[in-house]
A = this chain, B = another copy of it.
Amino acid sequence: MQKNIVVIEGDGIGPEVTRQAVKVLNAVAEQGGHEFNYHYCLMGACAIDKTGTPLPDETIEAALNSDAILFGAIGHPKYDNDPTAKVRPEQGLLKLRKSLQLFANIRPVTTYPSLQHLSPLKGKILEDVNFIIFRELTGGIYFGKKELNAEGTQASDECIYSREEIERIAHLAFKQAQQRRKKLTLVDKANVLETSRLWRKVVQDIAKQYPDVKVDFLFVDNAAMQIILNPKQFDVILTENMFGDIISDEASVISGSLGLLPSASIGKGSALFEPIHGSYPQATGKDIANPLGSILSAAMLLDHFGLRTEANKVREAANWTLQNGFVTKDIDPINFYFTSTIGELISDYVSGKTPGDI
């Protein structure tokens, strides 16, 4: 298999974690006889510094012509602390998402026994938690008409969804459910909202094409409770933009560390893979950042290429490091390993070079 991957390392810890993911992708390529061509592009503060804009046209161009984009993180304190700054690193990512029409944001939530001490939830609740949230990303109230009357005394936001917007992400979610435990939960507020009733109708229609997938429906307020009370009940969660924003952030804290959560954003053409963590400027260049978010994003990229066995091998390798105490400073502040060491261990594992017994 030959694939073109745009790599956007970005700012802060972006470059150092992304390099570990590339290391792992290289190990996968070598093992399977694949050819991954990397095209390094600029975005974020580093792009502003070098070109004056957070997202150079060349990056958009390359991204549109790629098979996938591997992205690190962007953001720099010199812009955060300057409220007068007209150009901001974050604008780059928003514009890239828009250019690529990334309509589905996908976030797996997995728990690891070795991280239970970091989770706010009790260990018993964390066992066997493994679900994935599909959040619609380009519609809903975030993009509807916004109005403020002339006197500034009344404001409105419109939430609007079309059948087609719901269908395209619903098909992705159903296909994912078929590859997993075959359960899909639509989170909505159909007892109140017209848009939610359309979501429910469309999902019920589409469900007929996936008879092996069991579908259920959950109101968003109940979902916010269930994610804490009994997260293992979920397999694939599908939801609209705002509900997805809230429940995916809520769900992100249960694993105990944001440092190892990956994400994918799927568009009509290309797809983008990134850890959910930020650029973490304080840790920059210290080789202490957790590379698992980026490495597990690379695993999702492999899934996207149809390389499921390889993707699972990478996840297995990540698990193996966690189980054996090969963790970064955020997980164990006393006995920790460097970012680059974890990347090395995981690429070695993928290459079959695991130390037999540790």
Residues of A participating in the B interface, judged by any CB pair closer than 8 Å = 119-122, 125, 141-142, 144, 146-148, 152-164, 189, 192-195, 197-198, 201, 220-222, 224-225, 228-229, 242, 245-250, 252-254
Contact with A121, one of B120, B163, B189 (Cβ below 8 angstroms): B120
In Å, the complex CA distance between A162 and B149 comes to 10
- Least distance between A164 CB and chain B CB atoms (Å): 8
Contact B221–A157 (Cβ < 8 Å):
no
Q: Which 8 A-B pairs have the closest CB atoms?
A: A155-B198, A146-B194, A224-B250, A221-B249, A156-B160, A153-B163, A155-B194, A155-B195
- 12 pairs, A vs B, C-beta closer than 8 Å: A141-B192, A142-B192, A144-B156, A146-B193, A148-B194, A152-B201, A154-B162, A154-B163, A221-B245, A225-B249, A225-B250, A246-B246
- C-alpha gap A163/B155 in the complex (Å): 8
Contacts of A158 in B (CB 8 A): 156-159
Chain B residue at smallest Cβ distance from A146 = B194
Q: Contact check, A156 vs B249: say whether CB atoms are below 8 A apart.
A: no
- Within 8 Å CB of A152, what residues of B? 163, 198, 201
CA distance A250 to B228 in the complex (A): 8
Q: Which of B161, B198, B220 contacts A246 (CB 8 A)?
A: B220
Specify which of A121, A228, A245 lies most central, judged by the most chain B CB atoms within 10 Å of its CB: A228
Least Cβ–Cβ distance between A189 and chain B, in angstroms: 7
Task: Report the separation of the CA atoms of residues A193 and B228 in the bound assembly, to the nearest whole angstrom.
Answer: 27
Chain B residue nearest to A161 (CB atoms) is B155
CB distance from A269 to the nearest CB of B (A): 24
Which single member of B147, B157, B253 contacts A228 (CB below 8 Å)? B253
B141/A193 in contact, CB under 8 A:
yes
Residues from chain B with Cβ under 8 Å of A197 in the complex:
148, 155
For A247, the chain B residues whose CB sits under 8 A away are 224
Taking the closest CB of chain B, its distance from the CB of A88, in whole angstroms, is 12
Chain B residues lying within 8 Å of A147, measured Cβ to Cβ, are: 194
Q: Which chain B residue lies CB-closest to A231?
A: B120
Given A193-B146, A194-B146, A222-B249, A159:B161 Cβ within 8 A: no
Residues of B within 8 A of A221 (CB): 245-246, 248-250
CA distance A154 to B202 in the complex (A): 11
- Chain B residue with Cβ nearest A142: B192
| Given A122-B121, A189-B242, CB of A195 within 8 Å of CB of B157 | yes
A247 and B228 alpha carbons, distance in the complex (Å): 12
Q: Could you tell me the distance in whole angstroms from the C-beta of A162 to the nearest C-beta in chain B?
A: 5
Q: Given A122-B120, A192-B142, A198-B155: A252 and B225 within 8 A (CB)?
A: yes
A122 neighbours in B (Cβ, 8 Å): 119-122
Q: Shortest CB–CB separation between residue A218 and chain B, in angstroms?
A: 12
Say how far A224's CB is from chain B's closest CB, in angstroms: 4
Q: Which of A141, A157, A201 has the most CB of B within 10 A?
A: A157
Chain B residues near A119: list those with CB within 8 A: 122
Q: How far is the CA of A21 from the CA of B247 in the complex (A)?
A: 36
